[in-house]
Amino acid sequence: QVQLVESGGGLVQAGGSLRLSCAASGRTFSNYAVGWFRQAPGKEREFVASINWTGSRKNYADSVSGRFTISRDNAKNTVYLQMNSLKPEDTAVYYCAGQGGVGIPVRASEYNYWGQGTQVTVSS
């Protein structure tokens, strides 16, 4: 089992920045790919970014590419999502998810473990 806990969400003005953290405990986290997803009210959960277990490969949704950066520190069992140039449409609950494997999945169904989510609100 892997337990994931997100933090770092909050209220920010458009154009601002936030850094989300996903802290893991349980099994060896460094063996897991990690993804960030988000879900806005009335919408389906959508892929944001993912990173493989070494941090050498990353995927981004087109909507956040160039603004968001995913990274990980396996020594701290933590994955980060640096979010810059935030827009009101980035407002959502952000979730991190873990999957034991060598890939960098983009589909929520491919992840085994999920955190509880952290709210990000961007005001215009």
For the cut 90, the answer to whether the pLDDT of residue 63 exceeds it is yes
Cα–Cα dist 94/89, whole Å: 13
Percent of the chain with pLDDT over 90: 87
Give 3-state DSSP helix, strand, coil % of the chain, rounded to 5.
Answer: 10, 50, 40
The pLDDT-based confidence of 14 (bands split at 50, 70, 90) is very high
Band (pLDDT 50/70/90 cuts) for residue 101 is confident
- Mean pLDDT, range 11-33, rounded to an integer: 91
Q: Which pLDDT score is estimated for 30? A: 78
